[in-house]
Amino acid sequence: MESLISPDSHVVLFLMVIGAAALGIYSEYKKWFGKLSGILVTMISMSLLSMAGVVPVASNPNIKVDVYEMVFSYFIPISIPMLLFSTNITKIIKESGKLLVAYIIGAIGIVIGCFIAYSFIDLGEDSGNTAGVIAATLIGGSVNFIAAAKILNFSTNPMFTATIAVDNFVSNLYTLFLFLTPSIIFLSRFFVKPKKENLEDKDEKQLEEKFPITMERIAVSLFIAALIAAMGNIIAPPITKSTTNRS
C-alpha cells in the first residue's frame, strides 16, 4: 500500500519527522502525557502515521526513503555522542552487569513466549517464520527483524508487511505499558523508589543555571559530536576489513 506522503516528497516527509520529534520534546516539557517520555511520544507518533499510511514504512526493504536514510546515516551517529555528553559513564559501568542479566532474562522470556504462541496460533506454513522474526525484533529491534526475515526468506512473503504492522503496533503498546507501569498505584508498590531522585533533579537544575544553554555551547557540542562520528566513520572500515580477512 502506498503512503499518502510519497518517499520522494523529501521536504514534507522531513517536516513530519521533525514535527514528531518536536512534539515529543515539547510534550515532555509541558507534561502533556504525564510521565510518558518524549522519546516514546515521538516513536508512537511516527508509528501511528506509518500504520495509518500517512508516511512510508521504514522497515519495508522494497521502498527507499531518502529522509529516513539521512536520519539513520547522519542524525543518529551525531546525536549519540551528544546524548552521552551528560551521561554518568561510571554509573553505567557499575549497573551494566544488572542490565545484562535483565536483558538475558527478557530474551529468554521472549523465546519461550514465541514457542507458546507458535503452539496455540496456527498461521499455516508461515507460523515458524513469523514467530522467528517476531522474536528477533523483540530481542534486537527492527534491524534484527530485517536480518532474520532475509535469512528465513520471509521478506518476500505476503505476510511480511502485515507482520511489520503488527510488530510496530504491539511493541509500541507494550513499551507504553512499561513506561506507565510505575505510575499505576496497584503496581507501583513492587518497584523500588530511588532515594536520590529528588537530589539528582536539584543538582541538574543547579547545573543548568550554572551552565545555561547558549548558541556557542550548541555549536561546540555539534562540532564535537560530528568530529566523534567522523572519526568512527574513518576508523570503522579498516577494522571491519581486518576482521573480515582474519575470518
Which of 181-185, 189-193, 203-207 is predicted most confidently?
181-185
> Would you say 50 and 13 are in contact if contact means Cβ atoms under 8 Å apart?
no
* pLDDT mean over 23-31: 84
Query: Count of CB atoms within 10 A of residue 154's CB?
Result: 20
Query: What pLDDT is attached to residue 77?
Result: 86
pTM: 0.60
Considering only residues 162 and 107, tell me which one the structure prediction assigns the higher pLDDT.
107
Provide the 10 A C-beta neighbour count for residue 34: 9
Do 42 and 17 meet the contact criterion of CB atoms below 8 Å apart? Answer: no
What value does the mean pLDDT of the chain take?
Answer: 80
- CA gap 38, 211 in Å, rounded: 23
The model's confidence at residue 190, banded by pLDDT at 50, 70 and 90, is low
Identify which has the larger pLDDT, 216 or 245.
216
Tell me what pLDDT residue 194 has. 58
- pLDDT at res. 207: 65
Task: Find cell 522494497 and name the residue.
Answer: 62
Q: CB 160: neighbour CB atoms within 10 A?
A: 21
Position of cell 507504553? 176
Q: Are 4 and 53 in contact (CB under 8 A)?
A: yes
User: With 0-12 CB in 10 A as exposed, 13-18 as middle and 19+ as buried, what is 37?
Assistant: middle
Residue 199 has pLDDT above 60, yes or no: no
* Highest mean pLDDT, choosing among 20-29, 50-59, 80-89, 186-195: 20-29
pLDDT digits (tens, 9 = 90+) for 90-111: 777 777 777 888 889 999 999 9
